[in-house]
Amino acid sequence: MNVKQVTLHLAELPMRTSFVTHQGTITNRELIIIEAEDEQGRKGWGEVSAFSTPFYTSETVKTAWHVIVDILLPNLKFKDLTHPRELVDKFSYVKGHPMAKAGLEGAVWDLYGKQQGKSLKELIGGVRNSVKAGAVLSLSDHLAEDISYLKSSGYQRYKLKVERGKEKELVKRVQEIDPGLPLMIDANGAYSEKDIPYLKSLDTLGLLMIEQPFQAGDFYLHRKLQSQLTTPLCMDESIASFHDAKQAIELGSCRVLNIKISRVGGLTAALAIHDLSRESGIPVWCGGMVESGISKAHNLALSSLENFSIPGDLSSSCRYFYKDIVTPSIQVENGEIDVPSGPGIGVEVNEEFLRSLSTSNYVKSYQ
């Protein structure tokens, strides 16, 4: 592939309001933005969506920066590549670090699309021109205002972050505000085996699904609980690879999968998981990571695939940030978001604004 240089931008994107879960609070979103440029000046953009601290997965912004700068880039020979999907094998000597790999792979996918004159949706075989939007409700004191605003924009699925032991109270708060709201809860692995009787009692709440009740990698407990529930379980943190998805499906550990490009190691892995899930009759949806419009554009292309039948964590640029780094900004209209149709991810990066947000940069030349 024609790649002249790769640039990393460490940036902090100011948030409108703090995003609160039982694991932590985010007030400014620290991100690594990756820029891959070819000899003709075309640029592809990717994003490392690891958090600053390891509360979601073991990866952090600092570990991802180290892996990309000190390991992946020095050993990468772009002239040996003909397609972005080949990066999976090129990165296989590095164990773990899926978010670092996904950010770099994403920039290459975007650049490849621009070089081919095709949208990312076209490259991967997407079938939808727009996708249904879902929203995440954080643990805030202004739930009623949030729900009113999101409903007015037409969001079609709502995910509530919950605290252990307060699930019924929080769900009741939401259902009192709007009894018919399509609602799921996200547990972020907060429970253990002794909580199974209590979790079974949540079966009466009429939830769309319960996401990741047990720790990442615990396929046994998820299977044990799912066999006793009518409510579908959805796996999130547990699915860090195609192999994990296959285990979850074959063991009956869940009835729904959340696919995050960053968590599974990149778009190539996400495509393989989508295909496996479709063949297995398991519906999927696209999870979000409080990301900029770069990741959102990648997610929209992925969500245009056939088996993404559940509205994902896909929201407007203004949902979390005062100003996004892409133009045009991502917008929800009547509960849906258009899938960008331009070359690559189909949005442009406001490079001047990105530079103003950047606290550190790194450039690797391949000339």
Nearest to 302, CA basis, from 281, 330, 274: 274
The single-letter code of the amino acid at 322 is Y
Nearest 5°: CA angle at 320, between 286 and 211?
A: 35
Measure the CA–CA gap between 263 and 276, rounded to whole angstroms. 17
Report which secondary-structure segment, H or E, holds 10: strand 5-21
Kind and range of the H or E run holding 248? helix 242-251
Contacts of 276 (CB under 8 A, 6+ apart): 242, 245, 246, 249
The one catalytic residue in 101, 114, 121, 161 is 161
The single residue of 260, 296, 323, 364 carrying the catalytic annotation is 260
Q: Does residue 323 have an active-site annotation? A: no
Q: Catalytic annotation on 79?
A: no
Residues 6 or more apart whose CB falls under 8 angstroms from that of 167 comprise 185, 187, 202
Closest CA to 217 of 193, 200, 197, 235: 235
CA torsion angle 228 231 236 241 (round to 10): 60
Token pair of 29 as six digits: 């979103």
Tokens of 177: 């505000």
How far apart are the C-alpha atoms of 122 and 112, rounded to whole Å? 12
Active site residues: 161, 260
